[in-house]
Amino acid sequence: MVTVTNFRYTTSPIIIILGATAVGKTKLSVYLSKRFNGEIINADSMQIYEGLDIITAKPTITEQDNVPHHLFSYVNPLDRSHTVVDYRNDALPIIESVVSRSHLSFIVGGTNCCIESLLFHFNPPNPSPKHSHDKQFTSLLNDLSEENLSKLTSVQLHESLSKIDKPIGIRRHPNEEQLKKFHDEYNQTCTQAEQSYNYTRGIFQAIGFKEFHDYLLLSNIKRKSEHGEKVFANAIERLKLSTRQYSKYQEKWLRMRLLQRVEKHSPNVYELDTTNLSLWYENVEQRAEAIIDAFLKDEKIPFDALPKTPIDEPVYEQNTCLACQRVFHMKSQWLDHLKSKQHKRVLRTTDRAAYRQKLNNAIPSLLNTLDLLEMKKISEIEKKNDEFEIDNEMIETLENNN
């Protein structure tokens, strides 16, 4: 994918090359940088760490082809405190420096949050109250001492929250604090048990570390054994699976975070087909070159951008399904539930139970009706028998007279 936009921090345009892992972003960025006198700024959160060039797939000196590359290998791999805000603060001065040299900035990578931090607004760490409910909440905290707050139950706190911000109150459950406490204790236990193997922070998030963890714990002798070969083969499969899953996540982010935005500064996104390497120049390099050239000249771009599909803001309202005994806080969730197979199955079960109850209530009256019918039938039989006996008496009388 190629994104072209006027950068909101400067008057200079920037080009963003993004996409799933291992699709040729580096190759394309080098080609375009040489064509348009540009410099490459890394937006891959794993390539910012020193060393580990192979596992993070950094461009080699040969691949860089004398094009200036920035934000590669400048963070200690053991530093787990580097955040996306740190990345943004590191990237902005470099972009300004590139612009000052009248060069074009090419932001290249697949880490979505890094790209998003440069494209869109990030809230400051301590924003001042801007809305009425913010001021109400601040006033409430000022009126209550820490001692008084600690005495309030979760239900009382929930009632106060609902008065200040009803949508948030609907989303939060009064007993949510109990669940949070449970998860905090559970996570603390897990951390104490596995604190040496945290693959969710820093460079250890890179695909390839956690997948080969079990194999790397084996001795050199065990790695060459049959068991070691099986562990290695399993690590390879996990590596492939993680790569596919990450690619799907990147594509989902593109749709959710870029193509569903309607802000004025939301950039256009153009798709490049990298599936056929024999047509790389025609489908990728030539197409990207035409898009950027037209954008820089303020001409009509010869290709259509990917369509944007803005989504509606979520509507928060509380609905209760009596049949399923469930509470929903969002209108979309409620509507989805009404159409779900589970809800319809519960309704069918409920309908059958109600029919059986109705039938049970009707059985006594039904028995009474059957009794009446039976008595009427017996009466008719007895009447016919009486008529038959009268007929026999008449026949006997006639025979005697003859």
**According to the model, what pLDDT value does residue 127 have?**
43
**According to the model, what pLDDT value does residue 225 have?**
92
Range with lowest mean pLDDT among 28-32, 56-60, 140-144: 140-144
- Cα separation of 251 and 174, whole Å? 37
pLDDT of 249 strictly over 90: no
**According to the model, what pLDDT value does residue 128 have?**
45
Q: Alpha helix locations (H) across 210-340?
A: 213-216, 220-223, 226-253, 280, 286-296, 331-338
* CA distances to 56, 200, 212, 219 from 204, in Å: 11, 7, 12, 21
Share of the chain above pLDDT 90, in %: 23
Mean pLDDT of 21-33: 91
Over residues 288-307, the pLDDT tens digits come to 999 999 999 999 999 998 88
**According to the model, what pLDDT value does residue 256 have?**
72
- Cα separation of 277 and 284, whole Å? 9
Mean pLDDT of 360-375: 59
pLDDT band at 211 (very low <50, low <70, confident <90, very high): confident
pLDDT band at 93 (very low <50, low <70, confident <90, very high): very high
pLDDT of 135 strictly over 70: no
- Cα separation of 114 and 47, whole Å? 12
Closest CA to 283 of 271, 273, 270, 297: 273
Instruction: Output the CA torsion 223→227→231→236 (10° steps).
Output: 80
Chain-centre distance of CA 324, in angstroms?
A: 25
Over residues 340-359, the pLDDT tens digits come to 999 888 888 887 777 566 65
> Cβ neighbours of residue 330 under 8 Å, at least 6 residues apart?
171, 314, 315, 316, 317
250 CB-side CA count, 13 A: 21
Strand 38-42 and strand 69-70: the pairing is parallel
**According to the model, what pLDDT value does residue 278 have?**
92
- Tokens representing residue 24 in the block: 């040729």
Confirm or reject CATH 3.40.50.300 for domain 2-120+258-296, answering yes or no: yes
Reduced to 3 states, what is the DSSP secondary structure of residue 209?
coil
Range with lowest mean pLDDT among 66-70, 152-156, 302-306, 330-334: 152-156
Residue 90 vs residue 190, higher pLDDT: 90
pLDDT of 392 strictly over 60: no
Show me where the domains of the chain are located. Answer: 2-120+258-296, 154-195, 315-402
Residue 161 vs residue 195, higher pLDDT: 161
23 phi and psi, to 5 degrees?
A: -110, 0
Share of the chain above pLDDT 70, in %: 60
Mean pLDDT of 46-68: 87
pLDDT of 388 strictly over 70: no
Residue 382: its H or E element? helix 341-401
Over residues 261-287, the pLDDT tens digits come to 656 567 888 989 988 989 999 999 999
Range with lowest mean pLDDT among 65-79, 166-180, 249-263, 342-356: 166-180
Q: Which of 10-19, 171-180, 196-205 holds the top average pLDDT? A: 10-19
DSSP 277-303: GGGHIIIIIHHHHHHHHHHHTT---SS
Q: Which of 59-63, 186-190, 195-199, 393-397 holds the top average pLDDT? A: 59-63
pLDDT of 179 strictly over 50: no
Mean pLDDT of 60-71: 94
Strand 316-321 and strand 104-108: the pairing is unpaired
Q: Considering Cα of 238, then 22, then 196, then 228, what sign does the dihedral take?
A: positive
Q: Say if CB 109 and CB 42 are below 8 A apart.
A: yes
Mean pLDDT of 129-146: 51
Q: In what order do the strands lie in the sheet with 268-270?
A: 69-70, 38-42, 104-108, 13-17, 2-6, 268-270
